[in-house]
Amino acid sequence: MKFCNILGLVACWLGLGSPGRAADWPHWRGPNRNGIVTETSGWTGGAWPGPLAWTTSVGQGSTSPLVVGGKVYVLGWENEHDVLRCLDLKTGKPVWRQAYRCPLYGRHHLGDESVYSGPTSTPEYDPETGLLFTLSIDGDLHCWDPARGGALLWHVNLYQRYGVERRPRVGQSGHRDYGYTTAPFAHRGSVIVEAGASAGNLVAFDQRTGRQLWTSQNRDPAGHAGGMSPIKVDGSPGLAVFTHRHLLVVRLDAGREGQTLAEYPWITDFANSIATPAVHDDCVVITSDYNHKAICKLRIEPGRASRLWQQPFSSKVCSPIIAGDRIYWAWQRARCLDLRTGEQVWEGGQFGDPASCILTADDRLIIWGHRGKLVLAETDRRSPGKYRELAVQHRVFQSEAWPHVVLADGGLLCKDRQGNVKCFRLGGP
C-alpha cells in the first residue's frame, strides 16, 4: 500500500498538482515548484512525524530528493564520483544506480568549502517525457531514462561547451564561486539550465538529443540560487531566476524563448542570492540578506519590474512560500508577512542558516533546519498573529540541513549535507 492519505488520493483522482501524479515531488520545491503540497501533515495530536520507515546514506551534497511513481531519485558524491540513485520509497532499498567521475567542488571553486561539498543542484524530472536531468557542481548536465534503469541518453559539460569563467567578485565582499547550484527546469520538451555563459545566462537543450535550442538575451554570470520559478505575464509563460546581477524574467512563449521580459538590479555580497524567487500571479517576491537585508515584492510587466514594497526582513537560504495573502519562510526564525504590504504578522522558533519549509493541505508548515531540526508549526490561518509549534524533533542528523525537505506519497524525506536520508511515514503504517 502506498503512503497516500485520503486527501492525496482525492487529489490524484481530480488530477491536481503536477502533470504527473499529484502525490509526486518531481521538481525543485515540489509538484508546483512553490513549496505547497496537496497532502496533509499527518498531525493527529500525538507523536509526529510518525514512524521511521527507513534510513540510508547517499553521499555528500546539498541536493534534495525527487519522488516519482513510488521511486526516490537522489544525487550524491562519493569516491570521486557523483552517484545517481533510484530507491524504493516504501523501503529505501536500491533499485538502480548510475555514476560518473566528478570533483568534490567546481573547477573555479573559491570560498566556504567547509560548509558545502558535492552536488548542489537538485535534479529535475519531466512528467511528460519521463526523463530525468542532473547538473553537477562542475557543470555536467546529464539526461537519464529512469524507465531503462537510468540509461544515459546524453551529456554536456557547461564549462567546456561555453568557456564559462569564474564568477566576478562583488564589491568589497569576499570572492565566492560555488560552481553550478541552480536546478534545471523542464519545459515543453526542453531542459533549461542557468549556464552563466557569454552566449547567454540561460541555455535550453532538446530533452531527447541534447541539441541546443536557444540561449537567453541576458548574458549575466550565473547566480547561486536554488532554482527557477515559472510565471505568467499578460497570459504568456515566462521564467524568473536570480542571475549574478539581476532578478531576470525571460519569455518562454514559442518563437520568443529567452527574450528578456524584465530585469531588476539585485546583486548580493558574496554572490549569494540563494532563495528562489516566489511567484504570485504577475508578481515576484525576492529576498536576500548580506547587503540587502530585505524582502521586496515586484510587479512584472513587459519591459519593466516595478517595486510595490520593500521591508527589512530577509532570508539567506530558505525560499518564501506564498499562500493566500501570506508569505512564509524560515531563516534564523520562522516568519509570516502580509503579502499586500510586506508587514510582519509573526515570527518565532530558531532554525539557523540552513532551512526549508513546506505548506501542507491542512494549513501547516513543515520546517527542516539547523543541523537536523524538524518542526511542525501552524500557519497564520490556524494561529492568527502568533507563531505556534505543534511538534519538534531535534538532532535528526548532525550536519547542515541544506537539502530541501520533501513530502510525497505520505513519505517525509529529510536529508543533510553529508547525504544521510531518513524517511518518516506520516499518519502511521
CA 352/CA 238 separation, integer angstroms: 33
| pLDDT tens string 295-324 | 999 999 999 999 999 999 999 999 999 999
**pLDDT category of residue 427 using cuts at 50, 70 and 90:** confident
pLDDT > 90? residue 342? yes
CA 359/CA 342 separation, integer angstroms: 19
Ordered by start, the domain boundaries in the chain are 1-62+321-401+403-429
| pLDDT tens string 253-269 | 999 999 999 999 999 99
Which residue has cell 511542525?
376
| pLDDT tens string 165-181 | 999 999 999 999 999 99
Contact 247, 239 (CB under 8 A): no
> pLDDT exceeding 70 applies to what percent of the chain?
94
Mean pLDDT of 53-72: 98
Q: Which helix (H) or strand (E) holds 9?
A: helix 6-14
| pLDDT tens string 363-419 | 999 999 999 999 999 999 999 999 999 999 999 998 999 999 999 999 999 999 999
**pLDDT category of residue 230 using cuts at 50, 70 and 90:** very high
Residue 362 pairs in a beta bridge with none
**pLDDT category of residue 23 using cuts at 50, 70 and 90:** confident
The amino acid sitting at 426 is L
Q: Is 146 helix (H, G, I), strand (E, B) or coil?
A: helix
Q: How far is CA 260 from CA 255, 267, 282, in A?
A: 13, 18, 15
Average pLDDT, the chain: 94
Q: Which three cell numbers stand for residue 122?
A: 537538485
Mean pLDDT of 129-142: 98
- Best CATH choice for the domain 1-62+321-401+403-429 from the list 3.40.50.800, 1.10.10.10, 2.60.40.2140, 2.40.128.630: 2.40.128.630
Mean pLDDT of 213-225: 98
Non-local CB neighbours of 30 within 8 Å, separated by 6+ positions = 36, 37, 358, 406, 407
